[in-house]
Amino acid sequence: MHAASRLCLVLGASIVPVLLVSEAGAQGTYQAHVGHVMEGFPGAPDGAALLSVAQEDAAVAAQHAELAGGEQTNLDPMVQHAQHVLHALDPSAAENGPGSGFGVGPAADAIAEHIELAAGADGAPEPVVTHSAHVATAARAVSERSAEMVEVANSIIEASDYSVAYPLVQQLQELAGQLVAGADASGDGEIGLDEGGLELVETHMGLMSSAALAQ
Protein backbone atom coordinates (compact mmCIF):
# COMPACT_ATOMS: atom_id res chain seq x y z
CA MET A 1 0.00 0.00 0.00
CA HIS A 2 1.32 3.45 -0.88
CA ALA A 3 2.03 5.96 1.91
CA ALA A 4 -0.69 8.30 0.62
CA SER A 5 -3.25 5.50 0.78
CA ARG A 6 -2.26 4.70 4.36
CA LEU A 7 -2.70 8.35 5.32
CA CYS A 8 -6.20 8.44 3.84
CA LEU A 9 -7.20 5.35 5.78
CA VAL A 10 -6.01 6.85 9.06
CA LEU A 11 -7.72 10.19 8.52
CA GLY A 12 -10.91 8.89 7.01
CA ALA A 13 -11.55 5.63 8.81
CA SER A 14 -13.71 6.85 11.68
CA ILE A 15 -15.45 9.66 9.79
CA VAL A 16 -16.88 8.25 6.63
CA PRO A 17 -15.51 4.69 6.45
CA VAL A 18 -17.86 3.71 3.66
CA LEU A 19 -16.27 6.33 1.41
CA LEU A 20 -13.06 4.34 1.54
CA VAL A 21 -14.97 1.30 0.34
CA SER A 22 -17.26 2.80 -2.27
CA GLU A 23 -14.53 5.06 -3.69
CA ALA A 24 -11.57 2.73 -3.14
CA GLY A 25 -9.87 3.77 -6.34
CA ALA A 26 -10.30 7.52 -5.84
CA GLN A 27 -7.58 9.86 -4.77
CA GLY A 28 -7.50 10.45 -1.03
CA THR A 29 -7.37 14.22 -0.79
CA TYR A 30 -11.04 14.59 0.06
CA GLN A 31 -10.75 12.12 2.96
CA ALA A 32 -7.86 14.14 4.36
CA HIS A 33 -9.87 17.37 4.33
CA VAL A 34 -12.93 15.70 5.86
CA GLY A 35 -10.54 14.34 8.49
CA HIS A 36 -9.28 17.84 9.22
CA VAL A 37 -12.81 18.87 10.14
CA MET A 38 -13.75 15.80 12.17
CA GLU A 39 -10.64 13.92 13.25
CA GLY A 40 -7.60 16.16 13.53
CA PHE A 41 -5.88 19.19 12.05
CA PRO A 42 -2.11 19.67 12.35
CA GLY A 43 -2.39 23.42 12.99
CA ALA A 44 -4.91 23.08 15.83
CA PRO A 45 -3.98 22.78 19.52
CA ASP A 46 -2.88 19.21 20.20
CA GLY A 47 -3.81 18.38 16.61
CA ALA A 48 -7.52 18.43 17.49
CA ALA A 49 -10.29 18.37 14.89
CA LEU A 50 -11.42 21.78 13.67
CA LEU A 51 -15.04 21.16 14.68
CA SER A 52 -13.99 20.11 18.17
CA VAL A 53 -11.85 23.24 18.55
CA ALA A 54 -14.73 25.45 17.44
CA GLN A 55 -17.14 23.73 19.84
CA GLU A 56 -14.78 23.95 22.81
CA ASP A 57 -13.94 27.61 22.22
CA ALA A 58 -17.64 28.40 21.74
CA ALA A 59 -18.32 26.83 25.14
CA VAL A 60 -15.59 28.98 26.72
CA ALA A 61 -17.00 32.10 25.07
CA ALA A 62 -20.51 31.30 26.33
CA GLN A 63 -19.24 30.61 29.85
CA HIS A 64 -17.42 33.91 30.12
CA ALA A 65 -20.26 35.84 28.52
CA GLU A 66 -22.45 34.56 31.36
CA LEU A 67 -19.81 35.39 33.97
CA ALA A 68 -19.56 38.91 32.56
CA GLY A 69 -23.13 39.52 33.69
CA GLY A 70 -22.65 38.23 37.22
CA GLU A 71 -22.49 41.71 38.75
CA GLN A 72 -24.81 44.08 36.95
CA THR A 73 -23.41 47.21 38.59
CA ASN A 74 -19.70 46.35 38.47
CA LEU A 75 -17.83 47.22 35.30
CA ASP A 76 -14.57 45.44 36.16
CA PRO A 77 -15.78 41.81 35.81
CA MET A 78 -17.69 42.75 32.67
CA VAL A 79 -14.46 43.97 31.09
CA GLN A 80 -12.41 41.05 32.40
CA HIS A 81 -14.76 38.41 31.07
CA ALA A 82 -15.32 40.26 27.79
CA GLN A 83 -11.56 39.97 27.28
CA HIS A 84 -11.81 36.23 27.95
CA VAL A 85 -14.61 35.97 25.42
CA LEU A 86 -12.42 37.76 22.89
CA HIS A 87 -9.62 35.25 23.39
CA ALA A 88 -11.99 32.33 22.84
CA LEU A 89 -13.37 33.91 19.68
CA ASP A 90 -10.15 35.15 18.12
CA PRO A 91 -6.85 35.03 20.03
CA SER A 92 -5.43 37.73 17.78
CA ALA A 93 -7.89 40.10 19.48
CA ALA A 94 -6.76 39.23 23.03
CA GLU A 95 -3.26 38.05 23.86
CA ASN A 96 -4.10 35.93 26.91
CA GLY A 97 -7.17 34.07 28.01
CA PRO A 98 -8.92 30.74 28.63
CA GLY A 99 -9.51 29.81 24.99
CA SER A 100 -7.63 27.14 23.10
CA GLY A 101 -5.48 29.69 21.27
CA PHE A 102 -7.16 28.92 17.94
CA GLY A 103 -10.56 30.62 18.29
CA VAL A 104 -14.12 30.08 17.13
CA GLY A 105 -13.81 32.42 14.14
CA PRO A 106 -10.58 30.99 12.72
CA ALA A 107 -11.81 27.43 13.33
CA ALA A 108 -15.10 28.11 11.55
CA ASP A 109 -13.26 29.70 8.63
CA ALA A 110 -10.95 26.69 8.43
CA ILE A 111 -13.92 24.28 8.48
CA ALA A 112 -15.46 26.08 5.51
CA GLU A 113 -12.15 26.10 3.67
CA HIS A 114 -11.30 22.43 4.18
CA ILE A 115 -14.75 21.05 3.49
CA GLU A 116 -14.82 22.98 0.22
CA LEU A 117 -11.38 21.60 -0.61
CA ALA A 118 -12.80 18.13 0.06
CA ALA A 119 -15.69 18.77 -2.34
CA GLY A 120 -13.34 20.00 -5.05
CA ALA A 121 -10.90 17.13 -4.78
CA ASP A 122 -10.63 14.45 -7.44
CA GLY A 123 -12.86 11.50 -6.66
CA ALA A 124 -15.03 13.28 -4.09
CA PRO A 125 -18.35 11.37 -3.98
CA GLU A 126 -21.70 13.11 -4.37
CA PRO A 127 -22.54 13.23 -0.63
CA VAL A 128 -19.30 15.09 0.06
CA VAL A 129 -19.97 17.55 -2.76
CA THR A 130 -23.59 18.14 -1.70
CA HIS A 131 -23.19 18.42 2.05
CA SER A 132 -19.93 20.34 1.89
CA ALA A 133 -21.89 23.34 0.60
CA HIS A 134 -24.25 23.08 3.57
CA VAL A 135 -21.40 22.72 6.06
CA ALA A 136 -19.50 25.65 4.58
CA THR A 137 -22.55 27.93 4.66
CA ALA A 138 -23.27 27.15 8.31
CA ALA A 139 -19.60 27.49 9.26
CA ARG A 140 -19.42 30.92 7.67
CA ALA A 141 -22.53 31.94 9.61
CA VAL A 142 -20.68 30.94 12.79
CA SER A 143 -17.67 32.99 11.71
CA GLU A 144 -19.84 36.04 11.04
CA ARG A 145 -21.53 35.70 14.43
CA SER A 146 -18.14 35.38 16.08
CA ALA A 147 -16.99 38.58 14.37
CA GLU A 148 -20.14 40.35 15.64
CA MET A 149 -19.35 39.16 19.15
CA VAL A 150 -15.81 40.52 18.87
CA GLU A 151 -17.27 43.95 18.14
CA VAL A 152 -19.66 43.74 21.10
CA ALA A 153 -16.93 42.52 23.46
CA ASN A 154 -14.67 45.37 22.41
CA SER A 155 -17.50 47.82 23.08
CA ILE A 156 -17.84 46.41 26.60
CA ILE A 157 -14.10 46.81 27.17
CA GLU A 158 -14.27 50.41 25.99
CA ALA A 159 -17.38 51.27 28.02
CA SER A 160 -16.93 53.95 30.67
CA ASP A 161 -19.76 52.85 32.93
CA TYR A 162 -21.58 49.66 33.93
CA SER A 163 -24.88 51.11 32.76
CA VAL A 164 -23.49 51.25 29.25
CA ALA A 165 -21.69 47.90 29.45
CA TYR A 166 -24.44 45.71 30.90
CA PRO A 167 -26.86 45.88 27.94
CA LEU A 168 -23.90 44.96 25.75
CA VAL A 169 -23.16 42.01 28.03
CA GLN A 170 -26.73 40.83 27.54
CA GLN A 171 -26.26 41.10 23.77
CA LEU A 172 -23.01 39.17 24.04
CA GLN A 173 -24.76 36.41 26.01
CA GLU A 174 -27.48 36.09 23.39
CA LEU A 175 -24.96 35.85 20.55
CA ALA A 176 -22.86 33.33 22.48
CA GLY A 177 -25.80 30.96 22.65
CA GLN A 178 -26.25 31.29 18.92
CA LEU A 179 -22.72 30.10 18.17
CA VAL A 180 -23.94 26.54 18.67
CA ALA A 181 -27.71 26.70 18.12
CA GLY A 182 -27.86 29.37 15.43
CA ALA A 183 -30.78 31.81 15.29
CA ASP A 184 -33.88 32.42 13.20
CA ALA A 185 -32.81 35.90 12.11
CA SER A 186 -35.30 36.01 9.24
CA GLY A 187 -38.28 35.18 11.47
CA ASP A 188 -39.56 32.48 9.13
CA GLY A 189 -39.76 29.87 11.88
CA GLU A 190 -36.66 27.97 10.78
CA ILE A 191 -32.93 28.27 11.28
CA GLY A 192 -31.49 28.27 7.78
CA LEU A 193 -27.98 27.27 6.89
CA ASP A 194 -26.91 30.90 6.63
CA GLU A 195 -28.33 31.47 10.14
CA GLY A 196 -26.90 28.27 11.56
CA GLY A 197 -24.52 27.40 14.33
CA LEU A 198 -22.10 24.61 15.06
CA GLU A 199 -25.03 22.22 15.56
CA LEU A 200 -25.87 22.53 11.86
CA VAL A 201 -22.22 22.06 10.91
CA GLU A 202 -22.11 18.83 12.90
CA THR A 203 -25.50 17.71 11.57
CA HIS A 204 -24.47 18.05 7.95
CA MET A 205 -21.15 16.35 8.54
CA GLY A 206 -23.21 13.44 9.89
CA LEU A 207 -25.57 13.56 6.92
CA MET A 208 -22.56 13.43 4.64
CA SER A 209 -21.49 10.17 6.23
CA SER A 210 -25.01 8.71 6.29
CA ALA A 211 -25.62 9.53 2.64
CA ALA A 212 -22.34 7.90 1.70
CA LEU A 213 -23.38 4.79 3.65
CA ALA A 214 -26.60 4.58 1.64
CA GLN A 215 -24.77 4.54 -1.70
Q: What per-residue confidence (pLDDT) applies to 213?
A: 55
**What residues contact residue 107 under an 8 Å CB cut-off, 6+ apart?**
44, 50, 51, 53, 54, 57
In a domain, 7, yes or no: no
| pLDDT tens-digit series, residues 121-176 | 988 889 899 999 999 999 999 999 999 999 999 999 999 999 999 999 999 999 99
Q: What per-residue confidence (pLDDT) applies to 59?
A: 99
Q: What per-residue confidence (pLDDT) applies to 208?
A: 86
* Model confidence, pTM: 0.84
Domain count, the chain: 1
Q: What per-residue confidence (pLDDT) applies to 8?
A: 33
In a domain, 1, yes or no: no
In a domain, 35, yes or no: no
In a domain, 40, yes or no: no
Q: What per-residue confidence (pLDDT) applies to 211?
A: 67
In a domain, 25, yes or no: no
Residue 7: pLDDT band (50, 70, 90) is: very low
In a domain, 44, yes or no: no
Range of the structural domain that residue 155 is part of: 50-214
Average pLDDT along the chain = 87
In a domain, 45, yes or no: no
In a domain, 77, yes or no: yes
What is the mean pLDDT of the segment spanning 1-27?
34
